Structure 1
Amino acid sequence: MIVIGIDPHKSSHTATAIDPATNTDLGSIRIDATVAGYKAMIAWAKAWPERKWALENAEGLGHHLAQWLLVLGEVVLDVPTTATARVRQLSRGGRRKNDRIDAAAAACVAVLQGDARPVDPEGSADVLALLDERRTNLCNSRTRLVNQLHALLRQLLAGGAPTSLTATAASSVLRGFRARSEIDRIRVGLCRDLIADIGRLDDRLTDNGKQMTRALDEHGTSLRGVDGIGPVSAARLIGRTGRASRFATAAAFANYNGTAPVQVASADSNRHRLSRYGDRQLNSALHTIAMVQIRMPASAGRAYYDKKVAEGKSPRAARRSLKRHLSDHVWRIMIADEKRSHRQRAKEPASAA
């Protein structure tokens, strides 16, 4: 099995073929990042019928090429840039860097180091990730517009408008105002423009929520059965996690999302501190779920929180324990959903036959 390492760039890609048995460079090709270039690379690679591809940063600049190769039935591995940098640093020549060296390093890492992971075809989890990113951008835009509207209303009205401001509430506030100067008329006009923009964003957020619900139904997740997890939280958890089975254990997932505590560097201390690493978006989602469950007296999360407080933990430490507990619970649910999805796909050909 020949391994073809690829160093992707925005306008070009460099591929290097490596024989894993002898670690020999068998050849290299540089192509433009176009479909015609992809076809030329496949024609070049036909010299090795048994092959697999190792792309550096397959979720970044190599994303389009990786998905194109998967459609053709090729085996594609994702190699992190940190792993190729480590191979480069330890190899002969020190820290030399060029496209051919990077491509060969990606192949070597995939074969010898075990740092590569298989690339999966895009599916419902990728749809949820796109919808979650879109929702985040819409919410940020809406917050900025609402802040601008608040600033203008403070200049028009004594005390301004209520903190929780909607397009409808702002319109009713302006309805009773009479501008007495040219500058106030300009402010009123700007307020009406901002109200219209906020209304349009609200409509898009509503549509985004409906798309999330449909995508979650297609994904077939059980996460929404957990207290505190609605469509938005479930979409973020799935979209940011991707394939849950890529984490070997619940502890690995907790380390990835930043809920695993870090031991204080002391020989005789059992104290731990909050991890500042990990996916902060996932961490934020788990924090929101934990806070919602704490405020629900009948929830399992509140019972767990009360148990930790009774054991002598501070409220803050109890919340952190609950977040870690929820991380483990969410990982187990996503693993179960993934296994159920695999079983259903396995039955489809038999039922079709």
Structure 2
Amino acid sequence: MATEPSNIIAGIDTHADTHHVAIINEHGKPLADREFLAVGSGYRKIVDFITSHGTVTAVGVEGTGSYGAELSRVLRGEGLLVLEVNRPNRAARRTEGKSDPLDAYQAAQSVLDGRTTSIPKAKDGPVECLRILRAGRASAMKARTAAVNQIKGLLVSAPDRLRAKYRGLGTAAMITSLHRTRPSGHMADPEYVCLLTLKALASRCHSLAAEIAAADAALQEILDSYAPMLCDLPGVGTEVASQLLVTVGDNPDRIGNEAQFAALVGVAPIPASSGKTTRHRLSRGGDRNANHALYQVVLVRMASCQRTKDYVVKRTAEGKSKREIMRCLKRYAAREIYRQITNPQAAPDNTDLRQLRNTLGCTITTAASELGQWPSKISLLERGLLRNDTLATNYRQWLTNQTDKKDRPDKEAIPIQSVYI
């Protein structure tokens, strides 16, 4: 009588050159373990080795974002459930020691115990392209900052003729001016060598600036095709949108709800109550880069969004500190961004505003003055380059009132309250 294949769980300890695979059954009994090369043929052998022992329930992999990235892609391609193992069981490591087989068995055991439930990022789509571009852009920005600091440091001790010529200039003008210089002299002249080095550093800054601009253009191109409506949200630009998408990954379905997203970006409220004090504090977990991106969103909204300003005034009157108010605002922003990522909503179409204004024979300056806005902001709104739903609603209402007043001179237009957003 043939026995039915048992359910098994695999654990993999990944390294740069080799991966160690261990297999346990559904009751936690060790079945087999083996080491494989971290190459294409080794990945195929790992799949054959795992599937030959029974029905695979899940595979726990350490380092799915580094050494185990390609292996995770191969396993997912074979239809296997891959879970990310964060860290070995330290208590077991202290009592049983450490080795590659032990770490692999611990990875499998953590899946069986339910301690490993995270689905890793897919790393096979446009979001992975965003991550790679951002990595190159970040290093270019650091190198440009270092070059600018070196230029300013050299000018401090440079001969007076050089200091007098360049120290009064702004950073951008100084870099451009140094880049255009044509030093002449001999290598034993400190002034000539100093100017030669300054020109080389300035040329490096120009090259890095072009590299950063090319990365920004590539990021915007991917966002326009992959998540065009994310940047429609107030305070969300290319930098913020790309970072948040990188945090989520190419498979946003791995995040079950907005509470999990809030924990992922480090804005989940943490209870900090004691005795008669009931409060929550800022979370210090999650992706700190994503948390910083949300911080930038909140700063922009606190400076330019009337609804956010009103909220700050209200919570300040309630005795909340600025830090507590920003914690709440980051949580609200995370909720809005999560909904836009998982269920994109297009911005309202405001292209009819300019036509309505032209029909009335009204200038953009007059409309901006009536609404208490700058003409440039009204122009951006009319061309669909700015999303401000409150301003668009008030603008449309004002145009409608003016149309009614024009059609019925005996009826006064309803005054509209200026909104500063």
TM-score range, shorter chain: 0.7 to 0.9
Q: Is the 8 A contact 2:144 2:205 kept in 1?
A: yes
Read off the aligned partner of 1:116 and give its amino acid letter: T
1:123 pairs with 117, 121, 125, which one? Answer: 125
Once superposed, what is the RMSD of the aligned Cα atoms? 3.0
Relative to the length of structure 1, the TM-score reads: 0.82
Distance 2:335 2:273 in 1: 25
1:306-335 Cα shifts (integer Å, max 9, x gaps): 333343434443333322221222222222
Q: Is the 8 A contact 2:178 2:202 kept in 1?
A: no
- Counterpart in the other structure of 1:350: none
Q: 1:264-275 to 2 correspondence within 5 Å?
A: 264=272, 266-275=274-283
1:212 Cα deviation (Å)? 0.6
Distance 1:311 1:337 in 2: 34
Q: 1:163 to 1:292 in 2, by over 3 A?
A: farther
Quick check: 1:286 aligned with 2:294? yes
Distance 2:118 2:285 in 1: 21
- Counterpart in the other structure of 1:341: none
Bigger Rg, which one: 2
Quick check: 1:211 aligned with 2:211? no
Quick check: 1:37 aligned with 2:42? yes
Read off the aligned partner of 2:116 and give its amino acid letter: D
Quick check: 1:256 aligned with 2:257? no
1:177 Cα deviation (Å)? 11
Read off the aligned partner of 2:14 and give its amino acid letter: P
Counterpart secondary structure, 2:23:
strand
Distance 1:76 1:162 in 2: 59
Read off the aligned partner of 1:147 and give its amino acid letter: N
Read off the aligned partner of 2:219 and give its amino acid letter: M
Quick check: 1:308 aligned with 2:315? yes
Larger deviation: 129-138 or 139-148? 129-138
Counterpart secondary structure, 1:295:
helix
- Counterpart in the other structure of 2:206: 199
2:193 pairs with 175, 186, 190, which one? Answer: 186
Q: Is the 8 A contact 2:119 2:254 kept in 1?
A: no
Structure 1, unpaired ranges of 5+? 339-353
Q: Is the 8 A contact 1:15 1:100 kept in 2?
A: yes
Q: 1:305 to 1:222 in 2, by over 3 A?
A: farther
Distance 2:315 2:196 in 1: 55
Counterpart secondary structure, 2:268:
coil
2:146 pairs with 144, 147, 161, which one? Answer: 144
- Counterpart in the other structure of 1:15: 21
1:197-225 Cα shifts (integer Å, max 9, x gaps): 11111111111011111221332353201
- Counterpart in the other structure of 2:89: 85
Count of residues in correspondence between the two structures: 330
Distance 2:89 2:114 in 1: 13
Relative to the length of structure 2, the TM-score reads: 0.69
Q: 1:43 to 1:247 in 2, by over 3 A?
A: closer
1:64 Cα deviation (Å)? 1.9
1:49 Cα deviation (Å)? 5.5
- Counterpart in the other structure of 1:349: none
Distance 2:298 2:170 in 1: 24
1:71 Cα deviation (Å)? 3.1
1:36 Cα deviation (Å)? 2.6
Larger deviation: 67-76 or 226-235? 67-76
Q: 1:118 to 1:271 in 2, by over 3 A?
A: closer
1:3-35 Cα shifts (integer Å, max 9, x gaps): 221111222111112111x32222111112222
Distance 1:129 1:279 in 2: 14
Q: Is the 8 A contact 1:227 1:299 kept in 2?
A: no
Counterpart secondary structure, 2:83:
strand
Distance 1:17 1:49 in 2: 10
Distance 2:276 2:338 in 1: 32
Q: Which structure ranks higher in relative contact order (CA pairs < 8 Å, sequence separation ≥ 6)?
A: 1
Q: Is the 8 A contact 1:80 1:116 kept in 2?
A: no
1:153 Cα deviation (Å)? 3.2
- Counterpart in the other structure of 1:69: 75
Read off the aligned partner of 1:276 and give its amino acid letter: R
- Counterpart in the other structure of 2:338: 331
Counterpart secondary structure, 2:175:
helix
Counterpart secondary structure, 1:278:
coil
Quick check: 1:102 aligned with 2:110? no
Distance 1:175 1:6 in 2: 56
Q: Is the 8 A contact 1:161 1:173 kept in 2?
A: no
Q: Is the 8 A contact 2:64 2:120 kept in 1?
A: yes
Distance 2:41 2:245 in 1: 34
- Counterpart in the other structure of 1:343: none
Distance 2:89 2:168 in 1: 53
Structure 2, unpaired ranges of 5+? 1-6, 346-421
Q: Is the 8 A contact 2:268 2:331 kept in 1?
A: yes
- Counterpart in the other structure of 2:31: 26
Q: Is the 8 A contact 1:244 1:331 kept in 2?
A: no
1:237 pairs with 238, 244, 249, which one? Answer: 244
Q: Is the 8 A contact 1:131 1:212 kept in 2?
A: yes
Q: 1:43 to 1:256 in 2, by over 3 A?
A: closer
Q: 1:320 to 1:158 in 2, by over 3 A?
A: farther
